Amino acid sequence: MDKIYLVTGAAGHLGSAVCSLLRERGARVRGFAYYSDDTAFIEDLGVEIVRGDVTDKESLRPFFEGAENAYLIHTAAIVDIDSKKNDRMREVNVQGTKNVVELAEEYGVEKTIYVSSVHAIPVKPHGRVMREVREFDPDLVDGAYAKTKAEAAEYVAEKMREGFNACIVHPSGIIGPYPSTGNHLVQMIKNYVKGMLPGCVKGGYDFVDVRDCALGIVSAMENGRAGECYLLSGGYYSIIEMLKLLKEITHGKNVNVWPKWLAKLFAPALAKSALRKGRKPIYTAYSLETLGVNGRFSHDKATYELGFMPRELYDTLVDTVDWLQKSGECVKKLKKTRGKVIMRSVKAGV
C-alpha cells in the first residue's frame, strides 16, 4: 500500500497548510474534519475526507482503517483566548488527543507528530528566552487554552517516554494565508485591512507563518528524533510594528494606541460585539495579558535538526493580505492596491 499521511484538523488553518504542502509533494493525504467544517479547499487539493469528532473515538476509526504504517499529524484543537473554563475545548484538546494517540497505537501508525503550542511551556521573566522542555504541567501555565495544551502535551510526552514513536512541535502565534476560520490573529489582520480595527495596545508576541509551521511539521516527521520536542517560532514583533507593516502594504490608516487599562475596560464589550457579528474577538482579558508577557522563543533546535528557517513577517503579511483579497474577504478595501499587493507576492516567490 502507498504511504499515506493522516491529518486531523485538516480543514483548519494549519491543517490546510499541511495538506497543501503534502499534496504539492505528491503525497497521499487523508484528512479528518469535523462534521460541519468547510473542506472545499482541501478537497480541491485531492485530500480524502473523513468526517467525525475527535472526542468520539468510534467516529475516528474510518480515518485509521487501512492505514497501517501511516504517518499521523494531529493538528485538531480548539483555540480560545478567553480565560474562562471551556469544557468543550478540554474535551477536544485533551480527550481528543488521547483518542487519536490510542488509535494510532492500535492501528500501527508508523510515526506521529502532535501539534502542541508554545502556550504549553511556562513563561519566563522578561529578558529570558523560552526553549523546549521535557515535562508539562497545567498548573505552571495561565489560561484555559494553555492548560489544555499542557495537559495533552504531558500525555503525549509520557507516551513517548514509554516508546511511542512521536515528536511534539510547539508553534507560536500562527498567521498567514489559507483558510483561517477561528484564527484570532488573522481576524486582526482582516479587521485592519477592512478598516474595522478600533485600536491596538502596546505589547507583542512571537508570530510564525503557517506555511513555515507546515514545513517544520513535515521535516519533524522525516528528520525529527523520536521523543523530542521542537519549537516552531518565527520572531517577536510588537502589534504596533505589525500594523505599521500592514499600513505600508495596504496604504491603510493609522490605528489609535490604547492604554492597556482602557483596552481591558472595553474588552468584554468588544468581544461580545465581535461574536454578534460572527467574528473572532481580538481583545480579551487573556489576550491582553499575553501581549504583555515575555514572548521570546528560540527555534534554534528546530533550525539545527529540522532545517527550520522561518520567513520574515513582512512577506507573511503580504501573502496574507493577498489571500484575503483573492478569497473575496477583503476585496472592497483592496481594489486600489490590488496590483501592488499581487506584484509583491510574485516578487516574494509565492
Q: Are residues 88 and 225 in the same domain?
A: yes
Q: What does 258-314 look like in DSSP terms, one character per residue? A: EPHHHHHHHHHHHHHHHHHTT---S--HHHHHHTTS---B--HHHHHHH---PPPHH
Beta-strand pair 204-209/236-238: antiparallel
CATH number of the domain at 101, please.
3.40.50.720
pLDDT digits (tens, 9 = 90+) for 246-282: 999 999 999 988 887 777 777 677 767 766 776 667 7
In a domain, 187, yes or no: no
153-168 pLDDT, tens digit each: 999 999 999 999 999 9
Residue 270, CA distances (Å) to 265, 267, 280, 281 in order:
10, 5, 10, 7
Alpha-carbon separation of residue 21 from 148, 191, 260, 300, 324 (angstroms): 28, 28, 39, 23, 19
- With bands split at pLDDT 50, 70 and 90, how would you rate the model's confidence at 345? very low
Lowest mean pLDDT among 31-45, 75-89, 210-224: 75-89
* Assigned domain for 261 exists: yes
The closest of 105, 316, 108 to 208, measured between CA atoms, is 316
Q: What is the pLDDT of residue 15?
A: 98
Measured between alpha carbons, how far is 238 from 343 in angstroms, rounded to an integer? 26
Q: Which helix (H) or strand (E) holds 54?
A: none
143 plus 11 within the same structural domain: yes
Mean pLDDT along residues 109-116? 97
- C-alpha–C-alpha distance, residues 50 and 71, integer Å: 16
Structure pTM? 0.91
Residue 192 is assigned to a structural domain of this protein: no
Q: What pLDDT, on the 0 to 100 scale, is given for residue 86? A: 83
Phi then psi for 51, rounded to 5 degrees?
-105, 150
Whether 194 is in a domain gets the answer: no
Cell 513563561 appears where? Answer: 123
The verdict on 242 and 178 lying in the same domain is no
Query: Cell 460541519 maps to which residue?
Result: 36
Q: Look up the domain containing 159 and give its range.
A: 4-182+205-236+295-306
Task: Report how far residue 270's alpha carbon sits from residue 197's, in angstroms, rounded to the nearest whole number.
Answer: 11
C-alpha cell at 234: 518565527
Residue type, position 88, single letter = R
188-217: buried (b, 16+ CB within 10 Å) or exposed (e) per residue? bbbbbbbeebeebbebbbbbbbbbbbbbbb
CA distance readout (Å), 16 to 13, 145, 240? 5, 21, 28
Residue at 245 is within a domain: yes
Q: Looking at the structure, do residues 265 and 138 belong to the same domain, yes or no? A: no
Question: What is the average per-residue pLDDT within 300-310?
Answer: 98
- Looking at every residue in the chain, the average pLDDT score rounds to 89
Residue 129 cell numbers, joined:
528566552
N-terminal to C-terminal alpha carbon distance within the chain: 33
Is there a single domain that holds both residue 59 and residue 156? yes
Same domain for 46 and 167: yes
The predicted structure's pLDDT at residue 179: 92
> Which pLDDT tens digit goes with each residue over 126-138?
999 999 999 999 9
pLDDT band, residue 342 (cuts 50/70/90):
very low
Co-location of 249 and 128 in the same domain:
no
pLDDT tens digits, 4-24: 999 999 999 999 999 999 999
Identify whether 200 is part of a domain: no
Looking at residue 337, its pLDDT comes to: 42
Q: Is the pLDDT of residue 113 over 60?
A: yes
The pLDDT of 287-292, averaged and rounded, is 82
168-216: pLDDT as tens digits? 999 999 999 999 887 889 989 998 998 888 888 889 999 999 999 999 9
| Cα-to-chain-centroid distance, residue 323 | 17
**Same domain for 267 and 166:** no
Asked, for residue 191, whether it belongs to a domain, the answer is no
Domain tally for the chain? 2
In this structure, the answer to whether residues 300 and 320 fall within a common structural domain is no
Residues 290 and 249 in one domain: yes
The answer to whether the beta carbons of residues 285 and 264 sit under 8 Å apart is: yes
For position 297, what pLDDT does the model report?
97
More confident residue, 327 or 63: 63
Same domain (yes/no): 176, 260: no
Domain shared by 178 and 288, yes or no: no
